Homo-oligomer: A and B are copies of this chain.
Amino acid sequence: VIRYCESRLTPEASAKASILLEALPYLRRFSGKIVVVKVGGEILRDKEAVTALIEDLSLLHLNGIKILLCHGGGPQISEAMARLNLVPHFVDGQRVNDPETLEISANVLIGDVNRNLTNLLNVKAPIALGISGCSANILLCKERDPRLGAVGAIELVRTEPLLKMLDNGYIPVIASLGTDGCGRTFALNADIAAGELAGALRAEKLVILTNTEGIYEDPSLKTRLISEIDATSLISLGEKGAFTDGMLPKVESILTALSNGVMSAHVLNGRVNHVLLLEFFTRAGIGTMIYP
């Protein structure tokens, strides 16, 4: 059986090669490193964004990057509560978790968001293990504030089960719930959980996917997008009141990660297709990078 061709060397080939070559030094740098990615519930409703995200995570994983995916599910929880005619309460930007709310949150986070993320990753290769921070007491918590109900403050991250999963080639997909080790479940802010996980695992990067282009100097105007900023300058910005409620836990998460040895943190727009790939493998970078 013989097949012929006239010429297959198109001008595009050279362009392809040069893009693959640009990715080379980044591959070298990140292979074998741990990267914690946080994805919020709102992005997970954008089907195109999720498809691109799943492709990117698979590609990073195939290149030997150890991925840990941490997710929340705020909009999904609010919607489930709305269906039951329940009104969520917030204190200081944190959802109050009475027993009924916690039950709904847990069901939606693990039973719905986590399961679907896990299933989608497993279409590429059977590598995703969907768990919550309750598994093996990975996220050990105490009660954060009596006014908030079952909202946890992380006291200890038990990294051993995560490291074993990563070493065995799996991607842990972690719903942002924790436990006090005595059987009780706590809701956790997914941004903060991601920062604690990245710090405890001494991750190379913490990537927070959100729905803005990155951090703006003045978020109300959305004029001055910050490309790179160090932790000290970020703290100063915060003291000037630059951050909105949604950004506050992201900033806290980033500072926790950086002060525990994480090399860089990134705030990216999760709705930009293949934003992870572009951040990891292209020279320009994208969004806001925060370094220690």
Contacts and interface: CB of A to CB of B under 8 A. Distances in A.
A134 B130 contact: yes
Interface string A256-290: 00000000000000001110011001101110000
A19 to B, nearest CB: 5
A21 B19 CA distance: 11
Nearest to A214: B5
Contact of A278 (B13, B108, B126, B182): B13
A116 B99 CA distance: 14
Contacts of A272: 9, 13
A35 interface: no
Interface stretch (A88-96, A144-152, A219-227): A219-227
Contact of A158 (B31, B109, B126, B281): B126
A244 interface: no
B17 A274 contact: yes
Given A119-B134, A122-B136, 15 more contacts: A1-B228, A1-B229, A13-B286, A16-B22, A21-B59, A31-B62, A106-B112, A110-B114, A116-B183, A119-B184, A123-B183, A126-B181, A129-B129, A129-B135, A164-B168
Nearest to A230: B1
A24 B123 contact: no
Contacts of A8: 227, 284-286
